[in-house]
Structure 1
Amino acid sequence: MGSVTTPKQDRSRATRQRLLESAVTCLAEHGWTGSTVTVVAEHAGVSRGAAQHHFPTREDLFTAAVEYVAEERSAELRALDGERGTHAAVDALVGLYTGPLFRAALQLWVAASNEPQLRPRVTDLEARIGRETHRMALRLLGADETRPGVRETVQGLLDMARGLGLANLLTDDSARRARVVTQWATILDDVLR
């Protein structure tokens, strides 16, 4: 017999989701110092008490928020068809690093470099997200990691994508990014085939 959710559970889940999405938005727009639990609660349209019920500490809220959106993005990538070609795969992977999630994650990284209580949580979170992204990249590219150089080439692609994400933080880098994506697709076709 399946579990049945009550309207109260549904409301609680919806409140939690709004808080997570608001936390990422606030982190991306205001950075760590400007993103307090109160600011996120106001953005989500809930009370500070409701926010603290779901997330007792600021660190709980923001690490959960980045993890939540990373999981959503991972689900989108898993749904992509690997048959669409190398260029589409590279473009989708680069897209991971050019949106609000990357901005929010970057703010969390910077905060973790200065906040000892946050560092281990962010390090663990990033390691998990990194492993999952690498697995998705291999699947999307149809890459055989047992072949020499393939693991490093895929990791280089992800490192390059992160660099493109950083370049995009300050200016619209889409024209250059499109040329780089095309070049990387060509390189990957040579290495992986």
Structure 2
Amino acid sequence: MSSREPKQDRSRATRQRLLEATIDCLADQGWEATTVTAAAQRAGVSRGAAQHHFPAREDLITAALEHMFDARMAEIRAESTRLPEGPGRTEFVVSRVVDHYTGELFKAALQVWTAAAADPSLRERIVPLEAKFGRTVHQTAIELLGADDTDPTTRRLVQATLDLARGLGLADVLTDDSARRQNIVTQWAATLHAALPQS
């Protein structure tokens, strides 16, 4: 049993490096350049080891997106355990949602969504994944805000926050938009806090 554990640990570590390298490769070089070989090289593992975990590029890329998304949502939830109440909490939530859509994961995902728009077989894999991501971000925002998701106004306001964050993410793809973005985050957080129904 003990002889298997180090091998399993190495296998998990290899897989983790591949997933992280895939996101970096997508964000830096785009869909066409992100092959299993390119990810393996970036991760410092052999192509054979990479293909053992992920036989096809689509397997690797969808697994990387899902893994990194889940990790990011877990980080956001962990950060939220010591949040203040009131406007500070609302600004934290808006900031984290915007950070999600302006980070490397969103840039990587955008490459995949664009490729999927022109590739029906890839689109079949990506549409359910994107739907899952959207639902999870929405639910996470609701939880962190401590808001009532059964209230239609709350649902619309949170969806507007996600749409705003996605737009800010697109604005940041080609140029650094951070200074303008911070002003928008601060203003929208104040607006959102005032508009959310108070329990």
Corresponding residue SS for 1:117 = helix
Cα distance between partner residues in 2 of 1:120 and 1:146: 30
Aligned residues: 191
TM-score w.r.t. length of structure 1: 0.94
User: Are 2:108 and 1:127 equivalent residues in the alignment?
Assistant: no
Following TM superposition, by how much is the alpha carbon of 1:146 offset from its aligned partner in structure 2, in angstroms?
2.2
The equivalent residue for 2:53 is 54
Cα distance between partner residues in 1 of 2:96 and 2:155: 18
> What whole-Å deviation, never above 9, does each CA across 1:34-79 have from its counterpart, x for those lacking one?
1111111111111111111100110000000011110110001111
Match of 2:121 among 117, 120, 142: 117
The equivalent residue for 2:164 is 160
Q: Which amino acid aligns with 1:13?
A: R
TM-score w.r.t. length of structure 2: 0.92
Following TM superposition, by how much is the alpha carbon of 1:5 offset from its aligned partner in structure 2, in angstroms?
5.7
Following TM superposition, by how much is the alpha carbon of 1:148 offset from its aligned partner in structure 2, in angstroms?
3.2
> What whole-Å deviation, never above 9, does each CA across 1:112-138 have from its counterpart, x for those lacking one?
112222111111111111111111100
The equivalent residue for 2:41 is 42
Match of 1:150 among 148, 154, 171: 154
User: Identity of aligned pairs, percent?
Assistant: 58
List 4+ stretches of structure 1 deviating above 6 A. Answer: none
> Given the superposition, is the C-alpha separation of residues 73 and 4 from structure 1 closer, same or farther in structure 2, using an over 3 Å criterion?
farther
Alignment root-mean-square deviation, CA: 1.5
Q: Which amino acid aligns with 1:186?
A: A
User: Are 2:195 and 1:191 equivalent residues in the alignment?
Assistant: yes
The equivalent residue for 2:89 is 85
| Structure 1 portions without partners, runs of 5+ | none
| Structure 2 portions without partners, runs of 5+ | none
